[in-house]
Amino acid sequence: MKTSITIARAFFILARHTSAAEGQTRLPPQAAAAILADGATWSAEAPSGRRKFDLTLNPDGTGRLRGPLFFSQNVNWRVEGPTICLASPFLEKCLEFRETPDGLQGWENGEPDLRLRR
């Protein structure tokens, strides 16, 4: 797994260069995984903007979602095709990611979805 994260970081460097040259280009899923799954907490916002929560993803495919009122839930993630799939006991979403000035924007079926910021 460590080797794949190192390779993913190389993809990230390439993707960042492509993103700057072409505008808001989709990140390869390995590059997005290297950014997202570093064990640090992201501030996440649902597409409606009404639901905000913290999301932490680890390099081993596990993670934690923490919401309002002490709500907490384990999540798993994986790279699947051009997407990163986030799965909890109640929901699974497979998203493509693009860089934003303060984080990443998830896209599902061509529509903006989960927004992650630090």
CA dist 47 and 78 (Å) reads 21
Q: Of the CATH numbers 1.10.1740, 2.40.128, 3.40.1340, 3.40.30, which one belongs to the domain with range 2-117?
A: 2.40.128
Beta strands in the chain (DSSP E): 41-45, 52-57, 62-66, 72-80, 83-87, 92-100, 103-108, 111-117
pLDDT, one tens digit per residue, over 31-59 is: 999 999 999 999 999 888 878 999 999 99
Instruction: Look at residue 101 and tell me whether its pLDDT is greater than 60.
Output: yes
Q: What's the whole-model pTM score?
A: 0.76
CA-based R_g, the chain, Å: 14
Instruction: Look at residue 28 and tell me whether its pLDDT is greater than 90.
Output: yes
